[in-house]
Chains A and B, each alone.
Chain A
């Protein structure tokens, strides 16, 4: 791994191009390159919808269905968030992606001293089922799916989602939630972990096991290469670690005696789009192929549709800059193009003001429109995998495949993904790569418009989302009111049951649903887990 860079002569002619994953790009490609890599259409790519799905998982791609748009949304109180959800839906957004505030993500109630200053800041505050009732009011939960971007306490949020759906009269079998629920990636990047590796992975296993029969339309895990890449990993590392992490969750459920075909088809992925566009496109094509091969060869998956890498390809946060923020609108458009050319099932964009704070309705709608105009105006729905057969793209896809396999091999040799995360081995690799990239920006080997090239120009003023301190007060008042009105004996009974189930090592989901229905708080439920599981000890890196 190294800094992606351009080797140039004194006349600015490019002599060599080195991508982040370490691949050298040639000035031009020809049929000879395909011969060199031993390209075999049926084996390496095949038609869309056919194994190994390099070209996409559906034979008709976006002709049969345009991608789902799912801007990451949530702030302040559930009332404010509900209003924003309805605004996005009224503008044609086809899915929800719920942003929770940090106290909720870390399992603290809004009135906990640890939550001070953070309530409703980077997402919506959720303490009890009452908050979900407000947040999802007037939203057709059997028609629109909801991503729940939460990990350490994803089991609690999934239980709460079932509880709110049932409260509003929906059958749990009819609703489709996608809790992010990928704790190993939180330990590598993003950092919203609570419990140690083993019980944290066990909780994920519980949600997968529970969803199989109770919420079969739910995608219980969204494996995120996304945040690993945000933290500094190369595109090859992003995919390598994501596949290994997914395998760790599969292993947990297999150990409970299930057939892999019973559940693996509901896995989904969340992958990043910033960086060199060719490298990203090749990455997504290679990722589909490797995931399918991994499932077939390692796990003997039988059903074709269970081999699909279904994914949200989007975001691109690290690619956005604080300098000249309006340039981020253009960056977002190119990132979305990459996602569309790569056959994303679902997408979302970081909005142009997100190097400053969470988005305004104005910037969020620009992102949504960017996604919509690609599908409806620019012809991205016309034909599947339009870059297939390009000498360059096919060669690069094969080279990416090899790089990803090399990165997977390194981790397997180290002793596996769980050990590599628990020891901080991956965290060190990723932090090192992040530093290399930063040095590249510093030296100018890596160019970033507005940051180390084309810095001139008038500063752009952008209107920013303002944090509302009153939202926190309102949320705490609302929590106190719920606490007063709920049946304390019912709360005590359900929490006691949760404690018992947790201690016995049984699946916690049914007990969590009962706690949610009794209006137990997120902090109360997490408190039980904290007490029994303890907390993750971050490995020291420096």
Chain B
């Protein structure tokens, strides 16, 4: 084992959407890339996700959203994180995300957006680079 700390990622499915192929593929890919991955399972509220992130002390929270509700969900997540005074976690969003919404998500505080079709290698490389900085 190397000295470097393993990046710990929570792959989360917020809200009512149950399409989890992408989340499960990304979870397996991050694991294969040497990261420690926790998968939230389906239908989690933002509060539940924040609690898991705190309990498990993850470096990264990844949200997988296919329903189109990525903006209200991300807003709510950052509100909760702020209320709890948490600033040390990078947040990523993946799923069905129209290009025009990416700047809006970044404005809310999201570190990286990986819409469907993003190569796994790109997501992994970005995560490794970003998680080290936080």
Contacts and interface: CB of A to CB of B under 8 A. Distances in A.
Given A102-B15, A541-B39, A232 B120 contact: no
Contact of B31 (A108, A538, A540, A542): A542
B54 interface: no
Contact of A191 (B28, B39, B42, B45): B42
Contact of A230 (B21, B31, B116, B120): B21
Contacts of A467: 68
B98 A356 contact: yes
B16 A542 contact: no
A118 interface: yes
Nearest to A356: B98
Place the interface of chain A in its size category.
35 or more
A189 B42 CA distance: 11
B67 A190 contact: no
Chain B contact residues: helix, strand, loop or mixed: loop
Interface stretch (A173-181, A431-439, A522-530): A431-439
Contact of A322 (B27, B37, B115, B120): B115
A341 interface: no
Contacts of B98: 356-357, 464
Chain A contact residues: helix, strand, loop or mixed: loop
A322 B116 contact: yes
Given A542-B31, A542-B37, A105 B16 contact: yes
A438 B96 contact: no
A103 B69 CA distance: 12
Contacts of B31: 542
B34 interface: no
B86 interface: no
Nearest to A355: B116
A451 B29 CA distance: 18
Contacts of A542: 24, 27-28, 31, 37-39
A527 to B, nearest CB: 16
A192 B27 CA distance: 20
Given A357-B68, A542-B27, A102 B16 contact: yes
A477 interface: no
B18 interface: yes
Given A117-B73, A118-B69, A435-B25, A193 B18 contact: yes
Interface string A184-198: 001001111100000
B132 interface: no
Nearest to B116: A322
Contacts of B18: 186, 190-193
Given A191-B18, A540-B41, A121 B119 contact: no
Contacts of B21: 189, 230-232, 318, 431, 434
Place the interface of chain B in its size category.
20 to 34
Nearest to A438: B25
A323 interface: yes
A154 B1 CA distance: 51
Nearest to A117: B72
A438 B29 contact: yes
A102 B39 contact: no
A469 to B, nearest CB: 9
Nearest to B66: A122
A442 interface: yes
Contacts of A434: 21, 24-25
Contacts of A186: 18
A189 B69 CA distance: 20
A118 B21 CA distance: 20
B67 A102 contact: yes
B121 interface: yes
B16 A114 contact: yes
Interface string A461-493: 000100100000000000000000000000000
Nearest to B38: A542
B2 interface: no
A321 B98 CA distance: 13
B94 to A, nearest CB: 12
A112 B13 CA distance: 19
B117 interface: yes
B104 interface: no
Contacts of B15: 102, 117-118
A451 to B, nearest CB: 6
Which of A117, A356, A467 has the largest number of chain B CB atoms within 10 A? A117
A540 B11 CA distance: 13
A12 interface: no
A321 B119 CA distance: 13
B117 A323 contact: yes
A192 B67 CA distance: 12
Given A191-B13, A538-B41, 15 more contacts: A103-B16, A114-B45, A117-B15, A117-B69, A118-B69, A191-B19, A230-B21, A357-B68, A358-B68, A431-B24, A431-B28, A434-B21, A434-B25, A435-B24, A439-B120
18 contacts: A102-B67, A108-B16, A116-B72, A117-B73, A121-B68, A190-B19, A192-B16, A318-B21, A322-B115, A356-B96, A357-B96, A357-B98, A431-B24, A434-B21, A434-B25, A435-B24, A438-B29, A442-B121
Interface of A: 102-103, 105-106, 108, 114-118, 121-122, 186, 189-193, 230-232, 318, 321-323, 355-358, 431-432, 434-435, 438-439, 442, 451, 464, 467, 538, 540-542
Closest 5 interchain pairs by CB? A191-B18, A117-B72, A102-B16, A431-B24, A117-B69
